[in-house]
């Protein structure tokens, strides 16, 4: 018997099982690592004593591939994947991706479009009377009527299009344990209507929880416990209604004061129960201390394994949640604003286990979360009373009650790098420089620069236009400039050649061609040449996507300019990579359209005029080994399915 959860009948028999309690269907290849939701939930259910099997990336063209481990006794759990299947399969330009990092050998084509719907419906064909539970990022962000970029239209809740009985949104560990215990006791799934962190579809005349029934009978849109949104039909017909509904549901995602939210869908109702209360440190420690093998299933050996593991194999999740609330980010809608953290002992224990791994070369790629230095709740009140209802923690100005001390995070980093066998601990999951600047103690900044950078520090100012930054919910350009100057001054004083690598977004709602020119000029003046540019990608669950579809800011009701034509999007992107010869024609056209012809010679001057960039290129070769050790993005770890 191997150490993985069984994936077929043979492995079930090796464990002495003739049936499963839960069948877990994953849209990603089976990787037994806590950066993958299917691994976490599978191991957690196993730890509770349930018999769990995994079918990863089944053939979705028929139901037979779902039956190969028999009918589970309690339920089928569908986790479509770490990423929304449409994001996984297509680029921001709508083109099919050449590779899929979550499939064996990086091969594409192993996951269907709209996997949440496809897998759920195939599972229902295979198991007519078995409870089907749907979770993961795709389901979580599509739980209400939502704008679908790929079809350029409003789609109904994913539950309206699939046969799942319950949808688990957000942090799913405690939710699945509660559901499993009730199913084991024989409670029918159709009676599970009051579980926090779940959604379900119901007929309008169905026997519903009292507070829901009262709100509907009184035809009230809002009570102390229930909020009724504009219907799916209304938000489909009216963009202003869509924006209104989005902001109402967005503001109800706090576990302490969030209400039950209802959205009528024809003769049925989509009902979202309030969010789950945050996991405790002890619960987080348990989840990350389960018996993961830390690698992909051996059946993938011939294809070279699963590429996505390379990015996170030696990375550690220290916490979840983010109170940054950036407009283009879905974490607020999925994980929430309240930080939940693991203990120092738990993290160090994982570091020690990594150091004992024969493949470990001494480099920990990351210890962090959605935002590395958001280690604890934004303020003392937040951990026990929730987030402020109509106030963001960091925008438009950082709250005066912010806990900006980095001491605990610093202790964890020091303890990790003192573990025998550890050469370097990198921070790659992103540092909020505006939060860091508010810490009156510079110790963390100094330690960061001294010990936790692999030659480059990546930060995300996203833009330089004040108007665009306001729509992004990001700090003004003067804040980034203050950090940049502080960082460069430190490196000059220490005679270090460490570079600041800022991320910028092209084509974000509100960004005009003139704003893109402003950003290009800034990049040229500061000598920054990006290897890659992030083009805005409208995905469900974000304020920015709501603006993209409606042209309306959902918080203020103001109209927002949205660049949508392929030509303008191409010009904005080209401006951010003005130095590439293939972009010169688009850059010239953009400068003429914005009456900035005088900038043509400035932006398109020879690349050799940027000595700082040339120095950086030479330095890359000298730091090749360290760069390889720290290579890899951690975006998918930040938004892992069901947590």
Q: How far is CA 79 from the centre of its chain?
A: 15
228 φ/ψ angles, rounded to the nearest 5 degrees: -105, 120
Using 50, 70 and 90 to split pLDDT, how confident is the model at 638?
Answer: very low
Q: Round the average pLDDT of the chain to a whole number and report it.
A: 92
pLDDT (average), residues 37-52: 98
Q: Six-digit token pair at 324?
A: 């940054």
Q: What would the DSSP string read from start to end of 395-439?
A: SSS--TT-----HHHHHHHHHHHTSTT--EE---S---HHHHHT-
| CA distance linking residue 25 with residue 55, whole number of Å | 5
Of the candidates 180, 181, 179, the residue with the CA atom closest to the CA atom of residue 196: 179
User: Which residue do the tokens 């949508």 mark?
Assistant: 564
At the top level of CATH, which class does the domain 314-451+623-643 belong to? Answer: alpha beta
Min mean pLDDT across 229-243, 443-457, 620-634 is at 620-634
Global pTM reads 0.92
- The angle that helices 566-576 and 584-593 make with each other, rounded to 10 degrees, is 110
Output the pLDDT for position 79.
Answer: 98
Output the pLDDT for position 617.
Answer: 43
- For 108, counting Cβ atoms within 10 Å of its Cβ (0-12 exposed, 13-18 middle, 19+ buried), the class is middle
Is 69 within 8 Å of 53 (Cβ atoms)? yes
Output the pLDDT for position 527.
Answer: 87
Radius of gyration of the chain from its Cα atoms, rounded to whole angstroms: 25
Q: H or E stretch including 444? A: helix 443-451
User: What are the pLDDT digits (tens) for 559-570?
Assistant: 999 999 999 999
User: What are the pLDDT digits (tens) for 143-160?
Assistant: 999 999 999 999 999 999
Output the pLDDT for position 2.
Answer: 60
Q: How far is CA 398 from the centre of its chain?
A: 23
Which residues are CB-neighbours of 19 under 8 A, at least 6 positions away? 51, 70, 71, 72, 73
Output the pLDDT for position 623.
Answer: 43
The architecture in CATH of the region 455-611 reads 2-Layer Sandwich (3.30)
pLDDT (average), residues 241-265: 96
**Common-topology check for domains 314-451+623-643 and 455-611:** yes
Q: How far is CA 419 from the centre of its chain?
A: 30
> Where exactly are the structural domains of the chain?
9-272, 314-451+623-643, 455-611
C-alpha distance from residue 44 to each of 50, 290, 339 (Å): 9, 7, 21
| CA distance linking residue 234 with residue 132, whole number of Å | 29
Any idea what the Cα angle at residue 50 is, between residues 45 and 51, rounded to 5°? 110
| CA distance linking residue 477 with residue 504, whole number of Å | 12
Output the pLDDT for position 420.
Answer: 97
The pairing of strands 226-228 and 260-265 is parallel
Output the pLDDT for position 419.
Answer: 98
Output the pLDDT for position 531.
Answer: 76
Any idea what the Cα angle at residue 36 is, between residues 139 and 545, rounded to 5°? 40
| CA distance linking residue 13 with residue 7, whole number of Å | 11
């Amino acid at each position: 018997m191997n150490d993985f959860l069984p994936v077929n009948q043979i492995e079930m028999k090796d464990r002495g099982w003739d049936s499963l309690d839960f069948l877990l269907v994953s849209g990603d290849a089976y990787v037994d690592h806590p950066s993958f939701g299917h691994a976490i939930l599978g191991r957690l259910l196993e730890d509770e004593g349930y018999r769990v099997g995994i079918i990863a990336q089944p053939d979705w063209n028929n139901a037979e591939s779902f039956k190969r481990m028999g009918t589970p006794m309690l339920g089928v759990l569908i986790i479509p994947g770490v990423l929304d299947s449409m994001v996984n399969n297509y680029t921001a330009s709508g083109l099919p991706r050449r590779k899929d990092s979550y499939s064996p050998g990086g091969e594409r084509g192993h996951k269907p479009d709209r996997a949440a719907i496809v897998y759920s419906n195939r599972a229902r064909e295979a198991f007519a009377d078995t409870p089907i539970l749907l979770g993961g990022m795709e389901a979580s962000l599509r739980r209400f009527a939502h704008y679908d970029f790929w079809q350029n239209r409003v789609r109904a809740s994913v539950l309206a299009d699939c046969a799942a009985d319950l949808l688990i949104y957000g942090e799913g560990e405690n939710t699945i344990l509660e559901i499993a215990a009730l199913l084991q006791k024989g409670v029918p799934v159709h009676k599970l209507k009051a579980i926090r962190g779940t959604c379900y579809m119901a007929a309008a005349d169905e026997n519903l929880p009292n507070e829901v029934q009262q709100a509907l009978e009184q035809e009230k849109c809002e009570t102390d416990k229930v909020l009724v949104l504009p219907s799916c039909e209304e938000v489909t017909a009216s963009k202003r209604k869509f924006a209104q509904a989005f902001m109402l549901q967005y503001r109800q995602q706090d576990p302490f004061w969030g209400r039950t939210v209802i959205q009528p869908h024809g003769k049925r109702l989509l009902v979202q129960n309030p969010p789950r209360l945050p996991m405790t440190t002890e619960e987080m420690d348990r989840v990350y201390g389960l018996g993961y093998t830390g690698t992909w299933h051996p059946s993938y050996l011939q294809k070279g394994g699963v590429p996505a593991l390379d990015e996170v194999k030696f990375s550690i999740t220290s916490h979840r949640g983010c109170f940054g609330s950036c407009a283009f980010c879905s974490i607020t809608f999925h994980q929430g604003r309240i930080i939940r953290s693991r203990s120092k002992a738990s993290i160090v224990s994982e570091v020690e286990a990594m150091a004992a791994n024969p493949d470990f070369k001494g480099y920990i790629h990351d210890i962090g979360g959605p935002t590395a230095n958001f280690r604890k709740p934004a303020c003392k009140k937040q951990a026990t009373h929730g987030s402020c209802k109509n106030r963001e923690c960091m925008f438009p100005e950082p709250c005066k009650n912010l806990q900006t001390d980095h001491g605990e995070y610093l202790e964890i980093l020091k303890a990790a790098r003192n573990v025998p066998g550890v050469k370097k601990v990198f921070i790659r999951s992103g540092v909020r420089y505006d939060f860091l600047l508010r810490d009156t103690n510079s110790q963390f900044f100094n330690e960061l620069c001294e010990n936790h950078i692999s030659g480059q520090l990546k930060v995300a100012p996203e833009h330089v236009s004040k108007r665009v930054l306001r729509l992004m919910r990001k700090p003004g350009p003067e804040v980034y400039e203050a950090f940049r100057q502080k960082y460069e001054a430190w490196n000059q004083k220490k005679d270090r050649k460490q570079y600041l690598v800022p991320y910028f977004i092209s084509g974000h709602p509100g960004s005009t061609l003139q704003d893109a020119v402003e950003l290009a000029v800034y990049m040229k003046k500061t000598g920054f040449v990006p290897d890659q540019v992030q083009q805005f990608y409208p995905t469900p669950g974000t304020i920015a996507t709501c603006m993209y579809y409606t042209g309306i800011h959902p918080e203020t009701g103001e109209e927002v300019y949205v660049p949508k034509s392929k030509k303008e999007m191409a010009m904005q992107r080209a401006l951010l990579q003005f130095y590439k010869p293939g972009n010169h024609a688009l850059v010239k056209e953009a400068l003429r359209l914005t009456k900035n012809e005088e900038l043509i010679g400035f932006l398109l001057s020879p690349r050799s005029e940027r000595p700082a960039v040339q120095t950086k290129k030479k330095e890359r070769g000298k730091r090749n080994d360290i760069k390889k050790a720290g290579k890899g993005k951690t975006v998918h770890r930040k938004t892992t399915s069901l947590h």
